[in-house]
Amino acid sequence: MIPVTTFDGQTIAVFGLGLSGRASVRALLAGGARVVAWDDSDKSREMAAQDGIETSDLRDEDWTRFTALVLAPGVPLTHPEPHWTVLAAKTADVPVIGDTELFFLERKKRAPDAGVVAITGTNGKSTTTALTAHLLREARMDVAMGGNIGAAVLGLPDFGAGRVYVLELSSYQLDLTPNAAPNAAALLNITPDHIDRHGTIDHYCEVKSRIFANLGPGDLALISLDDEYSARIAAGLEGAFKTFDVSTSRDVENGYGYSRDLIWEMRKGEKLRELSLTSVDALRGLHNKQNAAFAWGLARHMGADDAALEKGLNSFPGLAHRMEIVARLGGHLIVNDSKATNADAAAQALSAFGNIYWIAGGRAKADGLKGLEKLYPRIRKAYFIGECASDFGEELDGAVPWVDSGTIEDAVEAALDDLRSEELNEAVLLLSPAAASFDQFANFEIRGDAFCDAVRRYEGVEMAEGRGA
C-alpha cells in the first residue's frame, strides 16, 4: 500500500467503494487523514465493512469541512449528468479527484524521483501495460503494475529506491487526475468510445491528451499517428519533453514503426534496429505489433537494454481474454478475445486470422459491426449470441452465413462441429464479440471464462497451458 500523507489531519470524502475506493480509504487513513466514505450500493458498503471500513451517508454531511472528494472512476463526473456527490462538492468548492491523483500528489511529496510510465488509449492499454512491465522486469528492474489493470494504484507497494510504476490509465481516471506527471506517457489510439461518459468525441480526446499535460524536460511523449484523433493531438504537442511517434502508415522521423511481422526503431530518419515477432503467438495481429512498438519505446526510455527488450518481447505470455490462444483442435486454433467489446477491437482479431468461425454478440455498441465489412471474406460462418444476435445477423446482409446461437455454450458446440466437419487444414474458432457482455455476463472476463469452459467440454480439444482442466 502507498500511504497518502498529503492530506494528513484533513477530512476527505470518498465515494465509490469498489477496489480503488477501498484502497483509497486505507491509504488515506494510513497517511493520517480523516475519511468519510460512502457508496449508494448496499453490496459495496457490505464489502467495505468486511474490510473494516466505516461508512457514513455523504448526503448528511457538511461538505464545507472536506478538503477533497475522491471519486471512484466509474462514477459519472460530467455526463450523462454529474453524480450528486460531484454537485455537492462543486457547491462547497471542494475539488473532485481520483485515486490516481492521490498517487501523483504523494509521489511529488515523498518520492519525486520515482519512475512512472503511464499508458492510455481506447484499445490495447492492458496488453501494452503488461508488456511494458514485462520488458522492464526482464531488465531486472523493480516494477509495480496497476491502475486500470490488476491492483488499484494505491494498493501497489510503497515508493522504494529504484522502483518503477507502470500504470494503465482510462479516460475516467485521467478525468480525475489533473496532476498526472509520468516520466513516459503513451497514447496508443483513439476511436469513438465512452461518449456517454464524455459527451463528445472532442471532449474524450481532450481528456486522453491530459496524459501529456505535465511532462517536463527529459520526459517522453509517445503517440500514434495512425488514427485521425491521435494524429491531431500529436500535431499540437509542445514542450521541453521528447515526442516520439509510432506509425505503420507514415514515415517516422523519431520513434517506432511496425508492420505485420516487424517492429523497428527510428532516430533522425534512420533505422537503428528492428525485431521480428513472427514467432510470438501472444503478439499476433497488427494491433499487437503497435502494442509491442509502444512497449519497446517506453521500456527503452526507462533504461531497458537491447538484450532485455528482445528477450522480453519473445517471452511475453500475453493476457487472458485478449487474442488468447486457449486451445487447439487438431491443427486449428481456438482463440478467446472476449475483451473485444466494440467493432474496432474485433477488427484487430479478425484481421489476424483466416478461415474464421466467429462467435460474436452481446449488448451492441452504437456503431454495431460498422467498419468490419472488408473483413467478412475471412469469416466462414458467424455464430451470434445475446440480445443483439439478430441485429448483427441483419448487418451481415447476406455476406456471411450466420446463425442465432443464443448462448456461448451452444455457439461453441455448433462452431466446433462445423469446423471439424469441413476438414480444413487450418481454421480458427474466434470469440471476438464486438459487443459488451452485460446482457449475459457481469464482465468480459466471465464471458471469456464461459467460452473456455465450453471449449474444454468439447471432445478432442487440447487446452493450452494455464487453461487446462
Which residue is listed with cell 449528468? Answer: 81
Distance, in Å, from the CA atom of 231 to the CA atom of 60, rounded to the nearest integer, reads 47
For position 466, what pLDDT does the model report? Answer: 72
For position 319, what pLDDT does the model report? Answer: 87
By three-state DSSP, how is residue 337 classified? Answer: coil
The number of folded domains in the chain is 3
Distance, in Å, from the CA atom of 110 to the CA atom of 341, rounded to the nearest integer, reads 39
Q: Is the pLDDT of residue 468 over 60?
A: no
For position 226, what pLDDT does the model report? Answer: 94
Say whether both 89 and 181 belong to one domain.
no
Say whether both 399 and 265 belong to one domain.
no
Which pLDDT tens digit goes with each residue over 410-456? 999 999 999 999 888 889 999 999 999 999 999 999 999 999 999 99
pLDDT > 70 fraction of the chain, expressed in percent and rounded: 99
Say whether both 290 and 403 belong to one domain.
no
Q: Is the pLDDT of residue 62 over 80?
A: yes
Establish if 164 belongs to a structural domain. yes
Residues with Cβ < 8 Å from 432, sequence gap 6 or more? Answer: 335, 337, 338, 340, 345, 346, 349, 350, 358, 359, 360
Element (H, E) at 24: helix 19-30
Distance, in Å, from the CA atom of 414 to the CA atom of 396, rounded to the nearest integer, reads 19
State the pLDDT confidence band at 286, using cuts at 50, 70 and 90.
Answer: confident
Please give the sequence-ordered ranges of beta strands (E in DSSP) within 173-330, or none if there are none.
Answer: 184-187, 220-224, 242-247, 255-258, 262-267, 270-276, 324-329
Distance, in Å, from the CA atom of 466 to the CA atom of 454, rounded to the nearest integer, reads 16
**Start-end of H helices in 37-98:** 42-50, 84-91
CATH number, domain containing residue 219: 3.40.1190.10
Establish if 347 belongs to a structural domain. yes
Distance, in Å, from the CA atom of 385 to the CA atom of 167, rounded to the nearest integer, reads 34
Q: Is the pLDDT of residue 195 over 80?
A: no
Say whether both 307 and 169 belong to one domain.
yes
Say whether both 305 and 210 belong to one domain.
yes
Say whether both 92 and 104 belong to one domain.
no
* 176 touches 97 (CB < 8 A): yes
**Axis crossing angle, helix 99-110 with helix 19-30, rounded to the nearest 10:** 30
Lowest mean pLDDT: which of 27-41, 147-161, 187-201, 283-297? 187-201
Say whether both 308 and 329 belong to one domain.
no
Say whether both 333 and 442 belong to one domain.
yes
Which pLDDT tens digit goes with each residue over 347-373? 989 998 999 999 999 999 988 999 999
Establish if 3 belongs to a structural domain. no
State the pLDDT confidence band at 196, using cuts at 50, 70 and 90.
Answer: confident
- Overall average pLDDT of the 124-135 stretch: 95
Say whether both 93 and 106 belong to one domain.
no
**Start-end of H helices in 351-468:** 389-396, 408-422, 444-456
State the pLDDT confidence band at 210, using cuts at 50, 70 and 90.
Answer: very high
Q: Which of 97, 112, 144 is a domain's end point?
A: 97
- Overall average pLDDT of the 149-160 stretch: 95
pLDDT > 90 fraction of the chain, expressed in percent and rounded: 86
Which pLDDT tens digit goes with each residue over 20-35? 999 999 999 999 999 9
Which pLDDT tens digit goes with each residue over 293-338? 999 999 999 999 999 999 999 999 888 999 999 999 998 999 999 9
Query: String of b and e for 231-244 (b: at least 16 CB within 10 Å)?
Result: bebbeeeeeebbbb
Establish if 388 belongs to a structural domain. yes
Please give the sequence-ordered ranges of beta strands (E in DSSP) within 240-309, or none if there are none.
Answer: 242-247, 255-258, 262-267, 270-276
Q: What is the sign of the dihedral through the CA atoms of 163, 113, 5 and 96?
A: negative
Element (H, E) at 303: none
For position 171, what pLDDT does the model report? Answer: 94
Instruction: List Cα–Cα distances, 440 to 46, 387, 458, in angstroms.
Output: 25, 8, 22
Which pLDDT tens digit goes with each residue over 266-279? 999 999 999 888 88
Say whether both 154 and 231 belong to one domain.
yes
For residue 423, the number of C-alpha atoms closer than 13 Å in the C-beta half-sphere is: 0
For residue 455, the number of C-alpha atoms closer than 13 Å in the C-beta half-sphere is: 29
- Nine cell digits for residue 25: 480509504
By three-state DSSP, how is residue 95 classified? Answer: coil
CATH number, domain containing residue 25: 3.40.50.720
* 295 touches 119 (CB < 8 A): no
350: left (phi over 0), alpha (psi -120 to 50) or beta: alpha
Rounded to the nearest integer, the mean pLDDT of the chain is 94
Distance, in Å, from the CA atom of 459 to the CA atom of 329, rounded to the nearest integer, reads 9
| Cross-strand bridge partners of residue 147 | 168
Say whether both 148 and 275 belong to one domain.
yes
Say whether both 350 and 290 belong to one domain.
no
Q: Is the pLDDT of residue 469 over 60?
A: no
Establish if 6 belongs to a structural domain. no
376: left (phi over 0), alpha (psi -120 to 50) or beta: alpha
Biggest CA–CA distance in the chain, Å, is 71
- Nine cell digits for residue 222: 509517445
For position 299, what pLDDT does the model report? Answer: 98
Establish if 110 belongs to a structural domain. yes
CATH number, domain containing residue 362: 3.90.190.20
- Identify the CA nearest to 72 among candidates 124, 19, 118, 142: 19
For position 397, what pLDDT does the model report? Answer: 87
For position 93, what pLDDT does the model report? Answer: 98
Establish if 17 belongs to a structural domain. yes
The pair phi, psi for residue 47, each rounded to 5°, is -65, -40
Q: Which of 46, 73, 97 is a domain's end point?
A: 97
**272: number of Cβ within 10 Å:** 10
Give, as one character, the DSSP assignment of residue 158. Answer: P
* 427 touches 355 (CB < 8 A): yes
Give the structural domain span for 143: 100-315
The pair phi, psi for residue 182, each rounded to 5°, is -75, 165
Establish if 73 belongs to a structural domain. yes
Q: Is the pLDDT of residue 77 over 80?
A: yes
Q: Which of 281, 315, 349 is a domain's end point?
A: 315
